Chains A and B, each alone.
Chain A
Amino acid sequence: MSNLMVEARSVRKHYGSNEVLKGISLTVEQGEVLCIIGPSGSGKSTFLRCLNHLESINGGRISVNGELMGYRQSGTVLLEMKPSEIARQRQAIGMVFQRFNLFPHMTALQNVIEAPIGVSGVSAVEAKKLGTELLTQVGLAEKADHYPSQLSGGQQQRVAIARALAMKPKLMLFDEPTSALDPELVGDVLDVMKGLAKAGMTMIVVTHEMGFAREVADKVVFIDKGQIVEMGTPKEVLDHPQEARTKAFLNKVL
Chain B
Amino acid sequence: MAQEEFNSDDVVAVPLRHPWRWVFGGIASALLLGFIWAIYSAPAIDHSVITQFMLDPRILEGMSVTLWVTVVCMFIATVLATILAIMKLSENPLQRLLATGFIEFFRGTPLLLQIVFWGYLGIIFPNLFVGIPFTDIIFFSGQTSQLIPAILAGIIALSLNEAAYSAEIVRAGILAVDSGQVEAAKSLGMSGGYTMRRIVLPQAMRVIIPPLGNEFIGMLKNTSLLQVIAVAELYTQASTISSANLAQIELLIVSGFWYLVMTTVLGFPQRALERKYGRGFSVVGARTEGRAFKVGKR
Contact = CB atoms under 8 A, between A and B. Distances in A.
B64 interface: no
B192 interface: yes
Contacts, number: 86
Contacts of A148: 280
Contacts of A251: none
Given A84-B191, A88-B189, A93-B187, A105 B279 contact: yes
B125 to A, nearest CB: 41
A150 B178 CA distance: 19
- Which of B185, B189, B287 has the most CB atoms of chain A within a 10 A radius of its CB? B189
A185 B53 CA distance: 69
Interface stretch (B22-30, B32-40, B68-76, B197-205): B197-205
Interface residues of A, number: 35
B188 A104 contact: no
B288 A83 contact: no
A42 to B, nearest CB: 20
Contacts of B194: 118-119
Contact of B290 (A84, A95, A150): A150
B291 interface: yes
Interface residues of B, number: 31
Interface string A146-171: 11111010000000100110010000
Given A148-B280, A150-B286, A103 B187 contact: no
Given A118-B194, A147-B279, A149-B291, A104 B203 contact: yes
B184 to A, nearest CB: 4
Interface in A87-120: 87-91, 93-95, 97, 99, 101-107, 114-115, 118-119
B291 A167 contact: no
Contacts of A160: 184
B188 A105 contact: no
Contact of B287 (A89, A94, A146): A146
A164 B188 contact: yes
A87 B203 contact: no
Given A150-B286, A150-B290, A150-B291, A101 B184 contact: yes
Contacts of B294: 152
Contacts of B183: 54, 97, 101
A149 B286 contact: yes
A149 B283 contact: yes
- Which of B187, B189, B282, B290 has the most CB atoms of chain A within a 10 A radius of its CB? B187
A167 B280 contact: no
A52 interface: yes
A149 B203 CA distance: 14
A66 B186 CA distance: 21
Nearest to A107: B280
Contacts of A152: 294
B186 A87 contact: yes
Interface string B30-73: 00000000000000000000000000000000000000000000
A148 B279 CA distance: 11
A99 B282 CA distance: 19
5 contacts: A90-B186, A90-B188, A97-B180, A119-B189, A163-B188
What 5 A-B pairs have minimum CB-CB distances, sorted nearest first?
Answer: A91-B189, A147-B280, A101-B184, A95-B187, A115-B188
